[in-house]
Homo-oligomer: A and B are copies of this chain.
Amino acid sequence: MMRAEKACLNDPLIVKQISQLSLPSGSQVMIDPWTYATDEKLDVEKRTLICYFYLKGNASEVDANHYAYPLDFYCHFDMVNLKVVKLFRLPKKDFEHEVEIKQDEVQSAAAAPWGTVSLDRQNEYHPDLRSGPKKIPTPLRVVQPDGPSFRITGNVVEWMGWKFHVGFNYREGMTLHNITLDGRNTFYRLALSEMFVPYADPRAPYHRKAAFDLGSNGAGVCANNLALGCDCLGLIKYFDAHLTDINGNPRVMKNVICCHEVDDGLLWKHLNFRTQKAALVRSRTLVLQSIITVSNYEYILAFIFDTAGAIHYEVRATGIVSTVPIEQGVKSSAHGTVVADGAMAPYHQHFFNLRIDPAIDGHENSVVVEETVPLPINEGNPQGIGYHVKQEVIEKEGFADIDPLKNRVFKIINPSSRNPVNDKPVAYAVVPFNSQLILANPNSFHARRSEFALHSMWFTKYHDDELYASGEWTNQSAGDEGILTWIKGRNEEIDNGDVVVWHTFGTTHNPRVEDWPVMPVDKLQVTLKPVNFFPRNPAIDLPMSTQKDNDSKLYSRM
């Protein structure tokens, strides 16, 4: 990306265009390259990048927020020959589209002069460029004087009955393998399979603005080097990754995953009102986290294990919203939110697809969808208060959507392994993060290229080469490569076999001003929760929460 930025800035067309803007002295033009993506104009040269231009007010301020000052032109850039192919004026009014600036027009194009740039310090996020913290919390530290509860051997983690292997690759980032609990199989493989961020500003070229952050960028390649005491609090174990660089040489990426325990409040409690004696256990969790930076945005991605048999997958979206230019002084846009003078953050959605390859007490699993429905009013239910659970086994590959008003529950069961207490098949429920699905028309390239964002849940038969829900090659993909395409007409049976479940979840992000200059995290959490897998609460035999262990302190000032 930095190579593209350098070459592009030196291209004669760009030099010419920039010279026509009355940019403040000392300022610097920055480029954020984007994949070209796809539209019906399929004659675009391969390996074409989009270069969006921004201004850094003061070139010497290396961490200044250039997203505050988007410029009003962009170009198509040939990555092979390192030259600008075409130049366009960007739309700034609500119902415009891009307009090509032909080569011979560059001299005469009515490039809007920059105008008075009020370099507003409030647009900066870096503390070196702001006036200093206004509210300072007192320190809060997490200490584990006897060390952690986990044991790690190479890439194998053992913690409170859980055991699994941690992987990491250039594309998916962190992957978990062969997860067992008390020696029983639960999940064979868990990993984010793809991410898709489609923008909803219909003005060309923004209709093509859509990022596949795994397939086109790489959650491994983009992973942050996590810093002790900054990214992670407490007693921290780090995992390094071994990838390759652009020339094929080995490259160590240090501290890409942090692993540590977190206290998450109470896990269970009962107080006998007759004796006033309580039994209570705290929720200790194990967090494995990595953070990816994809240009402007950050995603904090974590697997969280608890002591009640559940695994949680949590995404926190943060970083800087992508901005496009708008006329200075204009405060509203049909396509997004004005976050700073001259900078508009367009509407967009974020989609994540979690690939869940189960092995609930073994590899022969089924998927069951349940809903809770009222019983009819009759002799057995004269008062009309009864309800029951309707269950459907999913026989063939397919998909389904969330429906919390029906209490729709998705369970992965092992029909051959029964709970000794109630004889029900052991199961894990996939508790979804309830979110809107892709709003782009199903025939649009956004929808056709991603596919997985059309539905909340997908169920497929296991295939070795099916790891990425939008297909293998996402950069400038044209559709018909993802999970919907695999299963269309294939109709394989998935009952009592090697099934894979894929959960799509996300957010419809209509930015608010509080998302600027860096957004406070949007938290999205999915839970894999045991249902009749254990003969009782798996945390019933954990030690009581006691002051002796916890050493809390009483705040006693009036």
Contact = CB atoms under 8 A, between A and B. Distances in A.
Given A207-B383, A269-B298, A338-B421, 15 more contacts: A39-B383, A139-B146, A141-B550, A231-B269, A266-B316, A269-B291, A269-B318, A271-B298, A308-B520, A339-B422, A373-B439, A387-B440, A407-B436, A513-B534, A517-B537
Q: Counting chain B CB atoms within 10 Å of each CB, which of A122, A141, A389, A530 scores highest?
A: A141
Contacts of A63: 272, 275, 277, 279
Contacts of A550: 139, 141, 229-230, 233
Contacts of A462: none
Nearest to A135: B160
A332 interface: yes
Q: Report which residue of A202, A259, A298, A533 has the largest number of chain B beta carbons within 10 angstroms of its beta carbon.
A: A202
A90 B267 CA distance: 33
Q: Which of A238, A437, A440 has the most CB of B within 10 A?
A: A440
Majority DSSP secondary structure for residues of A touching B = loop
B423 A201 contact: no
A385 B37 CA distance: 13
Interface stretch (A481-489, A490-498, A541-549): A541-549
30 contacts: A39-B383, A135-B160, A140-B142, A140-B144, A200-B386, A200-B387, A201-B386, A224-B271, A228-B547, A231-B280, A232-B552, A234-B552, A235-B553, A262-B265, A265-B316, A268-B521, A269-B291, A270-B319, A270-B320, A273-B293, A273-B295, A334-B388, A335-B388, A347-B389, A372-B439, A401-B405, A404-B435, A514-B534, A516-B537, A520-B537
A29 to B, nearest CB: 13
A132 B148 CA distance: 21
B514 A444 contact: no
A127 interface: yes
Interface in A116-148: 122, 125-127, 130-148
Nearest to A408: B436
Given A143-B141, A535-B122, A440 B384 contact: yes
Q: Which 10 A-B pairs have the closest CB atoms?
A: A229-B547, A384-B441, A202-B386, A308-B520, A202-B381, A229-B552, A237-B555, A229-B550, A207-B383, A404-B434
A319 B281 CA distance: 11
Contact of A268 (B2, B421, B513, B520): B520
A331 interface: yes
Contacts of A122: 535-536
B446 A385 contact: yes
Contacts of A549: 139, 229
Interface in A379-409: 380-389, 401-402, 404-407
A295 B273 CA distance: 7
A310 B309 CA distance: 30
A375 interface: yes
A401 B405 CA distance: 9
A62 interface: yes
Interface string A197-230: 0111111000100000000000000001101111
A7 to B, nearest CB: 15
Number of copies: 2
Contact of A387 (B237, B263, B404, B439): B439
A12 interface: no
Contacts of A372: 347, 436, 439, 508, 510
A558 interface: yes
Interface string A46-70: 0000000000000000110000000
A514 B538 contact: yes
A62 to B, nearest CB: 5
Contact of A386 (B131, B335, B407): B335
Given A269-B518, A518-B279, A263 B421 contact: no
Contact of A1 (B273, B291, B381, B553): B273
B554 A537 contact: no
Contact of A554 (B139, B228, B380): B228
A22 B512 CA distance: 68
A108 interface: no
A222 B520 CA distance: 37
Contact of A141 (B142, B386, B440): B142
B332 A422 contact: yes
Most buried by B among A152, A446, A517: A517
A557 to B, nearest CB: 8
A445 B385 CA distance: 8
A9 interface: no
A443 interface: yes
A377 interface: yes
A385 B436 contact: no
